Amino acid sequence: MRIAVDTLGGDHAPHEILKGVAIALREGGFSSEELVLVGPEELIKQFLKDEGITDLPTIVHTEDVIEGHEKPVVGLRTKPNSSISLCVKTVRAGNADGLIAFGNTGATVAAATMGLGMLPGIRRPGIAVTILGRGGRFVLLDAGANPTPKPEHLFQYSLMGAAMSKDLLGRENPRIGLLNIGGEAGKGSEVVRAAYETLEASALNFIGNVEGNELFDDKAEVFVADGFVGNMVLKVVEGFAEYLVHSAAKSENGSGVRDVLRGMLGAADFSEIGGATLLGVNGVVLIGHGRSHANAVLPALRAVKAAIEAGLNHHIVESLASHGGEVPSSS
Amino acid sequence: MRIAVDTLGGDHAPHEILKGVAIALREGGFSSEELVLVGPEELIKQFLKDEGITDLPTIVHTEDVIEGHEKPVVGLRTKPNSSISLCVKTVRAGNADGLIAFGNTGATVAAATMGLGMLPGIRRPGIAVTILGRGGRFVLLDAGANPTPKPEHLFQYSLMGAAMSKDLLGRENPRIGLLNIGGEAGKGSEVVRAAYETLEASALNFIGNVEGNELFDDKAEVFVADGFVGNMVLKVVEGFAEYLVHSAAKSENGSGVRDVLRGMLGAADFSEIGGATLLGVNGVVLIGHGRSHANAVLPALRAVKAAIEAGLNHHIVESLASHGGEVPSSS
């Protein structure tokens, strides 16, 4: 089990990422053999030595990075040795089983999709996140990889989300809900209605449409939406949580309220949960928040390790093999 | 100024609605001449007498109601004397300037659209809500009337939302943001990209794309989205707020936290803000939450009165006259 780490992507890279790597090596139970660090070799060596790390992981040297504001395709084309490209190459070459990256999300999705390819039979990658609700953590996908999916893509997201819920959150037979603007069949856009019919006809544990106000109500363990809606939902929850924490700090008894709020807000704090998982590609790819600090690295590494050791991608392929016949083959 | 009240629609109708009407008459500054009550005549008379109301408003008798689970078009066809149909007729006949209804949202939208018609030049109605953020209340629309709008509809929603922000929230030159999954131009679906271009080319105060996490950050006074996304955003905020209030109640120092939270959560509590406004139809229509209790009635009446007295619909027509030339006439 080995994980490639993009040390150059993200608002606080490379120092915060490397600080996080040092924590993972010193106290997180990770050995140097389990990591490959992609980034500026001398800087990494010096930094980790200063952090007291003597047994250094393999380093793949580069100083190129695709910045957050760059267009993914342009960045990937003009910077063949970008840190994210080299992370993907490391996985493709079999020198790592997965990667973590805190940089440009679009570039990570594009590099992983093109470089690793899709799992057999999977049409499109999807970004899956976990959010805390009344019933514990649930999976929401797609959070932005595919804004205009076909019904078949939504079917495959359901199946991948269920595998993730099982493998990473320990849910036995995860319920799958389709995010929609009404509870009854026949609601929503043409694509959503078609996805509903496919899911309803399948043997997956589909519970039907779920409205936005029911997201936190323990109605399902997996919520499926197109990448536009999923991204909007995730970001609105994040922004709302931040707004509340901010407002609470200004109220009387502010810090007490803020602390209670923070305890409830797994959603707002990616550092606790590692980040978003890119499902469907042939490798384990974790996309951390660009704003991540050092404390986000260890949870990210643990999430990737858990997915690798559980055999998440293997389970996705198995699930597709048993449910694939239920999908109309549109594209 | 006169407002028709649907006393039969809603989970707690007619008693909670009538209790709310009594409050509006006794303590809310409304006179009996300003209201028309649509519902079961004898029951209404008896109830209001028991509440100490002697000077009764005009009553339009009916016992028919379109329930929340009924399909709007079927309900409207099979129940020509439904309370919502009669409310709309009362406005169309000029016996009221606006209406409030807490029942089936789809039926209210359909009845108002067909019965009142659109404001001159407006293509589609949109549901506008207000939510509390760092910069005070902002307008979000469309919250569900039109899940698959054309770019022109989104342009008209922007213009209508700005008029509402001015007239009801006192904002001088409201900033308009387009909810999208990225900040740069060229992001999102084809419809959203086309709406961006139209808004960018217009003289409206358009500030560009706004991502979900920025919704509460005082970036704009008006946020525009298609009815699917707008509905999802509104309901996720509602559901998240309820989940937090619920969780807070179970924590240590629970009630303190809950109270602070409630103070911050205008969004979760429709009773404070009246409800959602159906913009674009030829009359003022306020759609209250189906779960509303008595305390929701007076704010709803005040919101309708404010829109009527400010001349909101007149301002929408004026704004369309000055900006209409900026819209490509697609449909």
| C-alpha separations of B248 from A13, B105, B160, B188 in Å | 36, 31, 37, 36
The verdict on B195 and B269 lying in the same domain is: yes
Q: Closest CB to B232: pick one of A181, A243, A257.
A: A181
The verdict on B150 and B93 lying in the same domain is: no
Q: Which residue, of A116, A144, A173, is where some domain finishes?
A: A116
Residue B302: inside a domain, yes or no? no
The verdict on A151 and A178 lying in the same domain is: yes
Looking at per-residue pLDDT, the higher value among B127 and A328 belongs to B127
Average pLDDT over residues B50-59: 97
Q: How confident is the model at residue B257 (pLDDT cuts 50, 70, 90)?
A: low
Distance from CA of A188 to the nearest CA of B (A): 7
pLDDT at B330 over 80: no
Res B250: pLDDT: 73
CB contact under 8 A, B243 and A189: no
CB contact under 8 A, A260 and B248: yes
Res B92: pLDDT: 98
The verdict on A142 and A266 lying in the same domain is: yes
The verdict on A112 and A142 lying in the same domain is: no
Q: How confident is the model at residue A272 (pLDDT cuts 50, 70, 90)?
A: low
CB atoms within 10 A of CB B318: 12
Find the residue in B nearest to A243 (Cα).
B216
Res B101: pLDDT: 97
Q: How confident is the model at residue B185 (pLDDT cuts 50, 70, 90)?
A: confident
CB contacts of A244 in chain B (<8 Å) are 244, 261, 264
Residue A280: inside a domain, yes or no? no
Long-range CB pairs of B111-115, under 8 A, 24+ apart, other chains included: B111/B72, B111/B76, B111/B82, B111/B84, B111/B85, B111/B87, B112/B88, B112/B278, B112/B281, B112/B283, B112/B285, B113/B281, B114/B76, B115/B85, B115/B88, B115/B89, B115/B91
Minimum mean pLDDT range among B5-19, B93-107, B253-267, B308-322: B253-267
**Reported pTM:** 0.93
Q: How confident is the model at residue A100 (pLDDT cuts 50, 70, 90)?
A: very high
What H or E segment, with its residue span, contains residue A178? strand A176-179
The verdict on A94 and A172 lying in the same domain is: no
pLDDT at A266 over 80: no
User: What are B24-46's pLDDT values in tens digits?
Assistant: 999 999 999 999 999 999 999 99
Nearest to A141 by CA among A274, A270, A306, A279: A279
The verdict on B221 and B195 lying in the same domain is: yes
Q: For the domain that residue B7 is a member of, what is the CATH number?
A: 3.40.718.10
Count CA atoms closer than 13 A to B91's CA, side-chain side: 29
pLDDT at A254 over 70: no
- Which of B264, B269, B270, B289 is best to mutate for the A interface (most A CBs within 10 A)? B264
What's the complex ipTM? 0.91
Q: Closest CB to B147: pick one of A144, A189, A238.
A: A189
Res B331: pLDDT: 46
Distance from CA of A303 to the nearest CA of B (A): 24
| C-alpha separations of B77 from B40, B114, B132 in Å | 20, 12, 38
Averaged confidence pLDDT in chain B: 92
Total domains present in chain A: 2
Q: Closest CB to A213: pick one of B211, B238, B246.
A: B238
The verdict on B21 and B50 lying in the same domain is: yes
Residue A80: inside a domain, yes or no? yes
Q: Closest CB to A239: pick one of B144, B216, B252.
A: B216
Residue A139: inside a domain, yes or no? yes
CB contacts of B149 in chain A (<8 Å) are none
Chain-centroid distance, C-alpha B129: 5
CB contact under 8 A, B261 and A257: yes
Distance from CA of B50 to the nearest CA of A (A): 37
Q: How confident is the model at residue A329 (pLDDT cuts 50, 70, 90)?
A: low
Strands A222-224 and B58-61 turn out to be unpaired
CB contact under 8 A, B239 and A212: yes
Find the residue in A nearest to B249 (Cα).
A260
CB contact under 8 A, A181 and B215: no
CB contacts of A134 in chain B (<8 Å) are 243, 246-247
Residue B294: inside a domain, yes or no? no
Average pLDDT over residues A125-146: 94
pLDDT at A94 over 60: yes
Nearest to B292 by CA among B4, B18, B2, B3: B18
The verdict on A233 and A323 lying in the same domain is: yes
The verdict on B6 and B112 lying in the same domain is: yes
User: What are A60-79's pLDDT values in tens digits?
Assistant: 999 999 999 999 999 999 99
Domain residue limits at A185: 120-274+298-331
Percent residues over pLDDT 90 in chain B = 81
Pairs across A and B, CB distance < 8 A: 138
Q: Which residue, of A74, A100, A116, is where some domain finishes?
A: A116
Distance from CA of B237 to the nearest CA of A (A): 7
The verdict on A2 and A100 lying in the same domain is: yes
Find the residue in B nearest to A106 (Cα).
B182
